[in-house]
Amino acid sequence: MLKLRQAVIVEGRYDRVKLSSLIDAPIIETGGFRVFNDKEKQCLIRKIAETRGIMILTDSDGAGFVIRNFLKGIVPADKLVNCYIPQIEGKEKRKPKKSREGLLGVEGMTDELILSAIRRSGAVVEGEEAEKARSLTKSDLYELGLTGRENSQRLRERLLRSLGLPTYLSTNAMLTALGCLYSYEELEKLVEALTRES
């Protein structure tokens, strides 16, 4: 079980249940979109962020990104860690059918995928050395051809699709997600492989 310094923000009860067997940290549910109008929950999240920081772990579908972006707007960036899970098609066992976008949420991810995403997110795991990986920058994205070039959009969409990440990520969101999941060297190899396929 990972002991985290940050509190973890998830969308719902089943996400909390899933995580409670994997991590030792406070886990707070947003209640989905209810957090938009729940001033008390917003206040609680801000206070916890001030004292110990928070890690946002929402589903990788459109709704999850809307909730994530809302939370990023109410908590200072230096008190926030983003943890991204990959986009994997499937259906949670407890549900009769797939979600609208047909993607697994946090509750449907394997333990290994969740723990790996947490470790790569930059969250502080008590008793473990933080990874000292080289941080990705916007300049790196340009060097790799993912921004600012003639075919950047096409390459970016192909890369995100191949990695199971949403293709509609903004440059900043893409930088954060890729930085959580891959080192510069790993990303460079992935881009080279895609370029060779063209």
CATH 3.40.1360.10 residue ranges for the chain: 2-121
Please write the tens of the pLDDT for every residue from 4-14.
Answer: 999 999 999 99
Please write the tens of the pLDDT for every residue from 55-75.
Answer: 999 998 999 999 999 999 999
Q: Where are the alpha helices (DSSP H) in the chain?
A: 13-20, 39-52, 62-74, 111-121, 138-143, 152-162, 171-181, 184-197
Q: Which fold has domain 2-121?
A: Dna Topoisomerase Vi A Subunit; Chain: A, domain 2 (3.40.1360)
- pTM for this one? 0.70
